[in-house]
Amino acid sequence: MKKYISIFSITLQEYFTYRLNMLMWRIRQIFVFLIPFFIWRAVLGGGGDLYGYDFAAIMTYLFGTTILRSLVMGSRTVDLGWMINSGYLTIPLMRPLGIFRFLLTRDLADKLFNLSFILLEVPLIFLIFKPPVFLQSNPSAILLFVISLLLAALMYFFINIIFGSIGFWSRDVWAPRFLLMVILEFATGAMFPLDMLPTIWQNIMLMTPFPYLLYVPLKIYLASDPNLYLHLGIQLVWTIILFLFTRFIWQKGILRYEAEGR
Amino acid sequence: MKLKADRIKSYWRVWLRLTLQQFQTQISNARGAALLFIFGKLFRLATAFLLIYLIVGRAKLIAGYELPQAIFILALFNLNSSITQLFMRGIYVFRQKIVDGTFDFYLLNPLSELFYSLFSYTDPMDLLLFIPYLGITIWAGIGTGFAFTLPLIILIIITLILAEIMIISWHIVMMGIGIRYLEVDNTIMLYRDLEKMAAFPINMYGRLGSIFLTYIFPFALMATIPANLVFGLFNPWSLLGFAVLAILELKLALRFWHNSLLTYSSASS
């Protein structure tokens, strides 16, 4: 356990090495909120609703996705493809560490780092934009939301390992990752709530794992998901499928690893 | 005069050679990756159009613009942004060049170190995408129902050139920051996040936001102003003021760059 605490601490220290870099990154997290805020303010700021969302509801959704994105999609495992291609993966492989536990520890450090900054940034966003947001007070909704959030974080961890593992077969890990990022931006519901799409498209999307990263956890938080338990069940099934697939891909990939570059 | 022409010819030849090499690298290493990139970029554009369609299609107006007008602004932004991406890709690897000492070779070259730093990584795949992007912009422009006369097209091109001058200036500033503080990656991504605001009508961001995105950053010039020229909402003579601003920004950026170069210690080589 001690060695994982050390990895956790080193990962956090790495962030503070290039302070300007870190500052810019955090400022970016605030700016992510800007465009959707102004778009929706231009459309709904004067009152009324769109697809059942009034300004307060859409702001809560967008505010929620901004926070959730930092927690769920804040990850160091995105480096995995580079680690494989540069041979850096050899270092953790040679140490007495479980590789998945090593990667997960770094991810947790990243999430703690994000969480601590969110606590500073959220009041700042509130102060500047004064978004009308809804605070959930129902304990069961909060509990289910936390479960969904944990599953989402695990799902994203596995997705990152799967995409990073492409590095075992190809030197080009950036292009698939770029495509994944583009798909995630849309299919997780980060751009807009997916229930604004026609029902058939919503149903198709809900069959993929992506909406379970942001959209479903947020709907659970807002207590506005009519199929809450079904979606939680699907999320659990996707987590298991992604875990099994991650293990399979890793076992196949690691056999091809040649520690090139080391 | 002839000397200047020869120099421009040299830059052109070097740029062409570097771009060709990039193309050869892509062809030999990552044909599939290039396709994924193209698909990813088209998918991203499609989702942006979908967002506009979902919101403005239902709300009817956004910041005073109708759906076809908002779509034209988005298409113009996308076209202009792709030009920037196409030519100024070097900034994404600039930090690495400083860290590993490759920048020393740029300084030793007879051509400008700025030219190598900024323009030496032109992605030919972006060049391919430029054609459909242009087609989409023309389609969106026709969709607005406004007439496109030759003087209007020339004015739009002038606006886009002014925008590019200001964009180059900001890229030079970011590289100057890179030399001083070894930080480029997040700065350019922050700039790109801000740039995305230009995909929508600038007046949507309030009075202060509009001023910021028009006179400090060149984002209004990327889409809203050229679109307003088409819609008859912008006085073309105001472009003279923007020309002065663009030259001023470029001069300041170059001064910052030269001052930053004085702090470069070549520590990595």
Secondary structure string (H, E, C) spanning A13-79 = HHHCCCHHHHHHHHHHHHHHHHHHHHHHHHHHCCCCEECCEEHHHHHHHHHHHHHHHHHHCCCCHHH
Distances (CA, A) of A10 to A113, B72, B157, B197: 12, 49, 51, 36
Residue A261 is assigned to a structural domain of this protein: no
Residue A262 is assigned to a structural domain of this protein: no
pLDDT of residue B15: 86
| H or E element, residue B105 | helix B103-108
Residue A186 pLDDT more than 60? Answer: yes
Domain range for B220 is 2-263
Closest residue in A to B202 (Cα) is A38
| Residue A198 contacts B, CB cutoff 8 Å | no
Q: What is the pLDDT of residues B155-184, one digit of tens each?
A: 999 999 999 999 999 999 999 998 888 778
Query: For residues A124 and A202, what is the distance between their CA atoms, to the nearest angstrom?
Result: 34
Biggest alpha carbon–alpha carbon distance for chain B: 59
Chain A nearest CA to B237, separation (Å): 29
Q: Which residue has the higher pLDDT, B163 or A77?
A: B163
pLDDT of residue B118: 86
Helix (H, G, I), strand (E, B) or coil at A169: coil
The tokens describing A70, both together, are 């930092």
Task: Write out residues 206-225 of B within 8 Å (CB-CB) of A.
Answer: 206, 209
Which residues, 6 or more positions from B195, have their beta carbon under 8 angstroms from its beta carbon?
B81, B217, B219, B222
Contact B264, B103 (CB under 8 A): yes
ipTM confidence: 0.82
| pLDDT bracket for residue B58 (50, 70, 90) | confident
Give the global pTM.
Answer: 0.84
Q: What's the mean pLDDT in A105-126?
A: 84
Residues of B within 8 A of A186 (CB-CB) are 43, 47
| Residue B16 contacts A, CB cutoff 8 Å | no
Count Cα neighbours of A136 within 13 Å in the Cβ-side half-sphere. Answer: 20
Residue A25 is assigned to a structural domain of this protein: yes
| Residue A38 contacts B, CB cutoff 8 Å | yes
Biggest alpha carbon–alpha carbon distance for chain A: 61
Query: For residues A188 and A199, what is the distance between their CA atoms, to the nearest angstrom?
Result: 16
Task: Tell me how many residue pairs between chain A and chain B have CB atoms under 8 A apart.
Answer: 98
| Residue B53 contacts A, CB cutoff 8 Å | no
The full length of chain A comes to 262
Please, what is the end-to-end C-alpha distance for chain B in angstroms? 37
Q: Which residue has the higher pLDDT, B250 or A74?
A: B250
Number of domains in chain A: 1
Residues of A within 8 A of B41 (CB-CB) are 182
**Mean predicted lDDT score pLDDT of chain B:** 87
Domain range for A186 is 2-254
Closest residue in A to B187 (Cα) is A24
Which candidate from B63, B183, B193 shows the least CB-CB separation from A42?
A: B63
Distance of CA B249 to the CA centre of its chain: 15
Residue B93 is assigned to a structural domain of this protein: yes
Other beta carbons less than 10 A from residue B205's beta carbon: 26
Residue A262 pLDDT more than 70? Answer: no
Residue B121 is assigned to a structural domain of this protein: yes
Which candidate from A34, A42, A197 shows the least CB-CB separation from B197?
A: A34
| Residue A171 contacts B, CB cutoff 8 Å | yes
Number of domains in chain B: 1
Residue B268 is assigned to a structural domain of this protein: no
Residue A259 is assigned to a structural domain of this protein: no
Contact B33 A25 (CB under 8 A): no
Residue B185 pLDDT more than 90? Answer: no
